Amino acid sequence: MAVYFDNNATTPLDPAVADKMCGFLKEHYGNPSSIYPIGRAVKEIITAARENVAAALGAQRGEIFFTSSGTESDNWAIQGVLNTTPEKREIIISTIEHPAILSQAKFLEKKGVKVSYVPVDSSGVVDLDFLRAAVTPQTALISIMHANNEIGTIQPIDKIVSIAREHGVQVHCDAVQSFGKLDLDVMKLGVDLLTVSGHKIYGPKGIGALYIRKGVDVCPFIHGGHQERGLRAGTENTIGIVGFGEAARILLERGRKDRERIEKLTDSLKDGIKRVIPKVIFNGHPEKRVKNTLNVAFPGLESEAILLALATKGISISTGSACSSESEEVSPVLLAIGLRPEIARSCIRISLGRFNTEEDVRVFLRELPDIIIKLRQISAFDPDV
C-alpha cells in the first residue's frame, strides 16, 4: 500500500479537478483573446476560475493575476515592485524563505539591490525588532512568507504589515504553503501582494497566481500581449487555470472540514512517533504552524537513509524543500532555526493532505520503528546516551 506523506511538495490532483479539466479540454480550444464565440466562451470560463481563486482568498476578481507558478509570482512580486520604484533599492526578506525568494534575492544582490535578511527564533518566527530596525527610506518591499514549507511555522503577517505601514513600505507574502491549510483573507492579512500556487491545493502544476491589491503599482514581469490586463503577457494556460479555479472552489466547499480531519491525523501521527521512537525532536512552532506538517529530527541518523528505507516500504516523505531535496546541502531553514548541521541532516518532513487516511498513519507507525532501530544499529547511535 502506497502512503503519500509529502503534500507540501505537491498534492495529488483532486479527481473532481481532473474531471473538470478533461471536460474543458474536450470541449474548448479557443483563444480567450479572440472575440468570436469560441474564444469568448473560454474567456468566460477563465473569469469564473478567477472568481473562485479570488473568493478563496477574500480578494476581488480584478486583483488576481494568473502566472505559471508560485515561483513566477514570487519573482514578479519583488521585481515588479522594485521596477516601479527605481529610487528605492532595498528589500527585506526572512532567512527561511523558499528558494523562489532566497535565490532571487541573491540574484538581485548582484544587480546592486541591498537585501536585509530577518533572522528567526528557534521555532522559526521572524524577529520583529530586527525587521523594524532594518526598514530604511530606501526600502521598496518587505517579503515574508506566511507558512514555512519545511517546518510549517506561521509568521505574524499582521504585525509585519503594521511595521511596514509605519514606514509606507509595501508587503508581499508568499502564501503558497498556507493556501488551503489556513483560512486566507487578504483583507485581514493586509498585504499588498500575495503568492499562491495550484499544485499545493489539489490542482494542477504549472499554474500560480499573484494577488495585487487594487491600487498597488507593479511593473509587468513578462512583456508581450495584453493578457492579464496587460500585466502578464502570454496566451493563458487555460487548462491550468480551469483546474486551479476548480481546486479553489472545492477548497471553499470542504477546506475547513478537510483541515480538521488532517489535523487530527497529524496529531495522532505525532503522538505515535513519540510513543514508538525515543529521542526524536519536533521542529517548528508547537502551536503557530500549519497543522499538516511535522518536521522531525532523528539525532545520529541521516535523513536520506530514513527516506530511502521508507520508500522501499511504499511511503513517500521528504527531507525538506522539494526544490533542494536532490542537493547535498543542509537545509538553510533548519540551520536558520539554530539546529547543528548534523541534527539538520537527520530531519525528515512529513506532510499530510486531503487524501490521507487513518490507515496511512497506522502503516507509517508500523514501518518506522524497525527502520529507525536498524539505522541506529548501523550508525551505533545509542538513544540512552
3-class DSSP assignment, residue 178: coil
Looking at the Cβ atoms of 9 and 361, the one nearer to ligand PLP is: 9
- Report, in Å, the least distance between residue 171 CB and ligand PLP: 16
- Report, in Å, the least distance between residue 155 CB and ligand PLP: 11
User: For residue 45, what are the contacts with CB-CB under 8 A and spacing of at least 6?
Assistant: 24, 28, 238, 241, 242
Looking at the Cβ atoms of 208 and 245, the one nearer to ligand PLP is: 208
Looking at the Cβ atoms of 149 and 170, the one nearer to ligand PLP is: 149
For residue 27, which amino acid is it?
Answer: E
Q: By beta-carbon distance, which residue lies closest to ligand PLP?
A: 70
Looking at the Cβ atoms of 52 and 148, the one nearer to ligand PLP is: 148
- Please state, as a whole number, how many other Cβ atoms lie within 10 Å of the Cβ of residue 62: 11
Looking at the Cβ atoms of 70 and 353, the one nearer to ligand PLP is: 70
- Report, in Å, the least distance between residue 326 CB and ligand PLP: 14
User: Is the CB of residue 244 less than 8 Å from the CB of residue 202?
Assistant: no
- Report, in Å, the least distance between residue 99 CB and ligand PLP: 8
- Report, in Å, the least distance between residue 229 CB and ligand PLP: 21
Whole-angstrom Cα Rg for the chain: 21
Which residues are near ligand PLP by CB under 6 A? 69-71, 74, 98, 100, 145, 149, 174, 176-177, 197, 208, 322
In this structure, what C-alpha cell is assigned to residue 379? 550508525
Q: Name the strands in the sheet holding 293-297, side by side, starting at the edge strand that comes first in the sequence.
A: 281-283, 293-297, 347-351
Nearest-10 crossing angle of helices 238-276, 358-379:
60
How far is 356 from 246, CA to CA, in rounded Å?
20
Write out the H or E segment, with its range, that includes residue 90: strand 90-94
3-class DSSP assignment, residue 104: helix
How far is 7 from 227, CA to CA, in rounded Å?
32
* Options 22, 173, 219, 323, the catalytic residue: 323
22 has catalytic annotation:
no
In this structure, what C-alpha cell is assigned to residue 288? 503557530
Nearest-10 crossing angle of helices 37-57, 238-276:
30
- Report, in Å, the least distance between residue 196 CB and ligand PLP: 9
Looking at the Cβ atoms of 170 and 324, the one nearer to ligand PLP is: 324
In this structure, what C-alpha cell is assigned to residue 341? 548541521
**Catalytic machinery residues:** 323
